[in-house]
Structure 1
């Protein structure tokens, strides 16, 4: 154990002292936020300010084009198609919509012209505007008022409640799905990131011949175990720093834009206005204030949704840490065995595919099955098998309803799977760590497992 600890200490300290580790630990939460926020921001920027000119030959809109929105506006042009095309080529508009004379019973013949490929969102907005206008025309012809029809529609808000042996608990499918994806994504990323570090670390020691000196005093199995545990501690340290920094950033932002603070500021402004004039009744909110109110309402709704979800936070956090560590140790041993078996990155591809495929498959299947039917047979079996349970089980837990025996069985199987893969990797490691310049295949690996000594 002393030798394992020495290897553990060396692996841990050599990595946490690197500038790359410190920088990633500090900016990791910001990069995570940017990963989700930037695509949305770019999408909004690319979809803003679209202008569509309408050549309404069939008089479908009767001179009343759809109202302009933030991302699209409609402008009338001459109903003559040839002239409309000529004017469109000279203008800077984004699209030209041509509407021929229509039979409301069987509408068709619509054309949209653009200089380049028409974006999906713009095409969808144009299609929606035309379809809505045809519906309005049909309603008018049938003697039905659109306003009356809209009043008949109902927007029902469902309150979901889970029934269990412990009693009734409120739940939220959206919140549970978000938490499930976050937990599964973190485990998926960390296993890949730090598993590859183990593989590359073993390969570097092997190719530089340092390992020949090291194993003169340390057994190959002890060296591999210390390396796996040391890099696991690095992963836990970085995860803890990310959590602490995320909580700190969220707390600072919550204080600066908290609903209470905004209400106090608004009350003070209203009081000042009232003292100067008793007739001011019109709201003077600036666009910035309106945007802040909107953001605050979104934050308040998210907070209320998290509280209403009534998640078993201690169970989720505890199981997340267990599967985070168990999944990493399970796959870390396999990555270490790959690093011992090969000499360069090119040879790793044939061995990495069968190791990483269960992880990728679980994450892909989670989007179609685990979050839509978390207690189905596929989800249950995937949360039991050690190859897939680190991601599958943590994605089932936020939805509730996981029996205690399934959770216990999954944990036991994962521990047994880690012990088996460590033994298996150790058999490969003790032979492959001193094997140079030889192309290794699966048949050769199977022989290494049964070498004596």
Structure 2
């Protein structure tokens, strides 16, 4: 055991002291938040304003096309032929032609552009025309505009979980987002840290350093020390990420809450009635924070750490066996497919599990040790019975114990074998060598 602790200490300190580890650990949450902030800014702020010319021969859509921050509609009084001639010289982005008999022949609408228009712009124009035509037809049938407006409702339901603790507000959107983020992080971490174990073993074997180490440390102790050492590195990084993320989230929540509380009080004073001021919790950002807080965060964090460690131990043992069986990185490719395919399939299954977290596919894939670390983390935010979580944990423990045993049998033989191309048949023989 003493030798295992020495190897763990070496593997841990060597990686933790690297500048890259410190930079990514500290800047990771900030870079992650900044990346999504940049994506949102680019999606919202990078859209240029477009000018759309409209030739409406029916005169039914004069006030229907509303100007927005990104769309400006210019109604023309000229005919379509003249408008097309002028369009080529103008700086307009598109020309919409609405024929006189558009109600009888709605397919007569045309959109002209120097280049092809986007699907979003095309859909927006079509929906505006469709809505007006529907209103006109309903009005002709004796249904007034007031009745039409009253008939249009926007249903926003609130999901409430019924448990032994009583009623508790829940959020399907937050559960989906948190589940997929946790699943993706485990998917990514297993590949990254497992590959680190494999490359570390391959590098030591190639440089013949392992021959010196094996003289004082048993192969099994060396493999376990490397696996656990890298696991502690990953666990340290994720723990710091969680703490930093929680700190950033708490600070953001406090700032935004005080900001919107001040906005609410200002609007209350101006309007003279609280009903006219939107509550802070009704703001989209505050709704997101409330949705996240409605989840069982301690359970999610605890299960995430367990399934991260369990999934890592399961796959890193196999990565370590591959690293010991080959002489260089090029030879690892033939053995990578059987290891990476279950991880990839787990992430693919997660897309279907999101749709039905309690279905048969979700249950069985969250029990199989090779897929449970990702799939179970996708299910947990939706609420999973305690016995299923415990069963999945138990099977995962048995899975990585068995995998480590098989990997250690391969490791003890392959770590000192050079110059031989290894096949799957040869690996099976190594497992049963005495």
Say whether the fold is shared (TM-score over 0.5): yes
Specify which of 257, 260, 264 is matched with residue 259 of structure 1.
257
Cα separation, 2, equivalents of 1:293 and 1:93: 41
Kept in 1: contact 2:135–2:148 (CA 8 A): no
The answer as to 2:288 corresponding to 1:302 is yes
Kept in 2: contact 1:65–1:76 (CA 8 A): no
> Which position in structure 1 is the counterpart of 2:376?
393
Using a 3 Å threshold, how does the CA distance of structure 1 residues 340 and 305 change in structure 2: closer, same or farther?
same
> Which position in structure 2 is the counterpart of 1:370?
353
Cα separation, 1, equivalents of 2:153 and 2:64: 27
Deviation at 1:261, TM superposition (A): 5.5
> Which position in structure 1 is the counterpart of 2:185?
186
Kept in 2: contact 1:51–1:73 (CA 8 A): yes
Cα separation, 2, equivalents of 1:229 and 1:134: 68
Kept in 2: contact 1:203–1:344 (CA 8 A): yes
> Which position in structure 2 is the counterpart of 1:222?
221
Spell out the pairing of 1:237-276 with structure 2 (5 A cutoff).
237-255=236-254, 257-260=255-258, 263=261
Kept in 2: contact 1:65–1:74 (CA 8 A): no
TM-score of the superposed pair, with normalisation by structure 1: 0.85
Cα separation, 2, equivalents of 1:11 and 1:2: 14
Deviation at 1:237, TM superposition (A): 0.8
CA deviation string 1:49-104 (max 9, x = no partner): 1222223344452x334111122222223553343333222222222222234352
Kept in 2: contact 1:57–1:79 (CA 8 A): no
Q: Which range moved further: 179-188 or 150-159?
A: 150-159
TM-score of the superposed pair, with normalisation by structure 2: 0.89
Task: Figure out how many residues of one structure are paired with residues of the other and give that number.
Answer: 430
What is the aligned-residue RMSD (CA, Å)? 2.9
Kept in 2: contact 1:56–1:79 (CA 8 A): no
Match of 2:333, SS?
A: helix
> Which position in structure 2 is the counterpart of 1:350?
334
Specify which of 324, 336, 340 is matched with residue 340 of structure 1.
324
Specify which of 300, 303, 307 is matched with residue 323 of structure 1.
307
Kept in 1: contact 2:261–2:280 (CA 8 A): no
Using a 3 Å threshold, how does the CA distance of structure 1 residues 206 and 85 change in structure 2: closer, same or farther?
farther
The answer as to 2:343 corresponding to 1:359 is yes
Gaps in structure 2 of 5+ consecutive residues? none
Cα separation, 1, equivalents of 2:47 and 2:193: 38
Kept in 1: contact 2:175–2:382 (CA 8 A): yes
Cα separation, 1, equivalents of 2:72 and 2:164: 55
Kept in 2: contact 1:58–1:101 (CA 8 A): yes
Using a 3 Å threshold, how does the CA distance of structure 1 residues 446 and 177 change in structure 2: closer, same or farther?
same
Match of 2:355, SS?
A: coil
Using a 3 Å threshold, how does the CA distance of structure 1 residues 209 and 80 change in structure 2: closer, same or farther?
farther
Spell out the pairing of 1:9-408 with structure 2 (5 A cutoff).
9-61=9-61, 63-77=62-76, 79-164=78-163, 167-255=166-254, 257-260=255-258, 263=261, 297-307=283-293, 309=294, 311-367=295-351, 369-400=352-383, 402-408=384-390
Cα separation, 1, equivalents of 2:101 and 2:417: 78
Kept in 2: contact 1:258–1:296 (CA 8 A): no
Using a 3 Å threshold, how does the CA distance of structure 1 residues 148 and 345 change in structure 2: closer, same or farther?
farther
Using a 3 Å threshold, how does the CA distance of structure 1 residues 259 and 160 change in structure 2: closer, same or farther?
closer
Gaps in structure 1 of 5+ consecutive residues? 272-280, 284-289
Kept in 1: contact 2:95–2:111 (CA 8 A): yes
The answer as to 2:413 corresponding to 1:431 is yes
Match of 1:73, SS?
A: strand
Q: Which range moved further: 176-185 or 193-202?
A: 176-185
Specify which of 398, 401, 424 is matched with residue 442 of structure 1.
424
Deviation at 1:411, TM superposition (A): 1.1
The answer as to 2:408 corresponding to 1:418 is no
Cα separation, 1, equivalents of 2:59 and 2:133: 11
Cα separation, 1, equivalents of 2:263 and 2:157: 35
